[in-house]
A = this chain, B = another copy of it.
Amino acid sequence: MASRRPLLRLLAQSRIQSRLSNSACRRTISSFSASSKASQHPLARYLGVTALSLLVATPLFYKMAVDEPYMLDAPTLAERDQQTKRAEAITNASPMRLRMEKFIKEQQVEIVRALEAIDGTKFRVDEWQRKEGGGGITCVLQEGKVFEKAGAGISAVYGTLPKAAILKMRANHKNLVNGANEIPESIEFFAAGLSLICHPRNPMAPTIHLNYRYFETANPDGSSGAWWFGGGSDLTPNYLFEEDAILFHKSLKDTCDAHNKEFYPKFKKWCDEYFYNKHRRESRGIGGIFFDDLDETTADKESLFAFIQESLKSFVPTYTTIMNKRKDMPFTEKEKEWQQIRRGRYVEFNLVHDRGTAFGLNTPGPRVESILMSMPLTATWKYMYEPEPGSREEKLEKVLREPKEWV
């Protein structure tokens, strides 16, 4: 079921009451960014500067630690990670938190480059931090040649889970308190994820969405406690091209099958159940995969990280193939109108049913523009709009009402 652990999944979607991670470091980055060479890609430049700042920021951190007495307390997970990032490069031996963060940053660059290549328009890059702690990078391309709107956002936050949340989580993650007799008052956590959405102009080209995320708690001794991965990707066409649906699902199935033959059927069903516009009695799109809580009861951390990496990496080749076929297809005004109606349904799903969006918007101090980058540029609601019998629009509706097996 999609709703096994709503709180945790939402926490894992990473806009949360969280504590400061790296504001000193960010400030260094910002001041560097301003003077960086304009010829570099802005996002690549940002990441290049990050690596540099990890080195130059070390003396600053040392000074703070000496000057400010509160730094003498046991360091938080965030502080320990900062220290690690400053002291050494991220390798396969680094904590998964840092490997996941590095991976999604790299993937964000890859994805942004690929979408810019399709569109010919640059993304706007916004680095942000919440007053409450944590932050991310939101990249948006708006009113491009091919995309009405495309957004790729990453976030990585540290925070503290209160006792009530721990009690709820324990039911599904036995190792959350590591066999301790007493439930602690709070546990530190880390959550990082990458979210992507593309709304193309051409009604023949499908909207795509994906999200991959990692969640981890810390034991009191500083070691990793409970951890799990979540994610998935789903396709939302306005007009059905079976070859696209098959390509999309086959690509996901191949990645799944390489890890576990049970993944694809299970995650495909989960996706159909999650992305369901209940009040319309139809799916948001033609599905894909959706999963959460992949922990040691499913496979070891290394294997699951490999699965997450391959799933995310499969986006660029698959979507590029589909877009190259669809982005320049001829279309009519009526087909554009249908796309806009489908966009309205997309808005309905995201604002009425999507637990991630609801959780994000209801969190204190949300970055609303990052959460709602998933909104289409435009949408339409026509009262009692009904596709003509036998039309391509009706054909799509039928598929949305009865999810198909594509591979």
Contact = CB atoms under 8 A, between A and B. Distances in A.
Interface of A: 124, 126, 140, 142, 149, 151, 278-280, 340, 344, 347-348, 351-352, 358, 361-362, 366, 368-369, 372-373, 375-384
Contacts of A140: 383-384
B279 A384 contact: no
Contact of A369 (B377, B378, B380, B384): B384
Contacts of A379: 347, 378-379, 381
Chain A to chain B: the 10 pairs with minimum beta-carbon distance, closest first: A375-B381, A351-B351, A279-B361, A140-B383, A351-B352, A378-B380, A369-B384, A142-B383, A279-B368, A379-B379
Contact of A362 (B279, B348, B377): B279
A153 B383 CA distance: 13
Contacts of A340: 378
Greatest chain B CB density within 10 A among A340, A358, A382 is at: A382
Nearest to A352: B351
A368 B352 CA distance: 13
B352 A383 contact: no
A373 B383 contact: yes
A104 to B, nearest CB: 20
Nearest to A358: B352
Contacts of A380: 377-378
B151 A383 contact: yes
A340 to B, nearest CB: 7
A279 B366 CA distance: 7
Given A362-B279, A368-B279, A149 B383 contact: yes
Contacts of A382: 142, 377
A218 to B, nearest CB: 30
Contacts of A375: 344, 381
Nearest to A386: B369
A128 to B, nearest CB: 11
Contacts of A347: 347, 351, 379
Given A279-B368, A280-B368, A368-B279, A384 B348 contact: no
Given A347-B347, A351-B348, A372 B361 contact: no
Given A351-B348, A351-B352, A377 B381 contact: yes
Contacts of A383: 124, 140, 142, 149, 151, 369, 373
Contacts of A279: 361-362, 366, 368
A61 to B, nearest CB: 32
A373 to B, nearest CB: 6
Nearest to A371: B279
Nearest to A143: B382
B126 A384 contact: yes
Given A126-B384, A376-B381, 16 more contacts: A124-B384, A140-B383, A140-B384, A151-B383, A278-B361, A278-B362, A279-B361, A279-B368, A280-B368, A351-B351, A352-B361, A369-B383, A372-B381, A377-B381, A378-B379, A378-B380
13 contacts: A142-B383, A149-B381, A149-B383, A280-B368, A340-B378, A347-B347, A347-B379, A348-B372, A351-B351, A352-B358, A352-B361, A377-B380, A379-B381
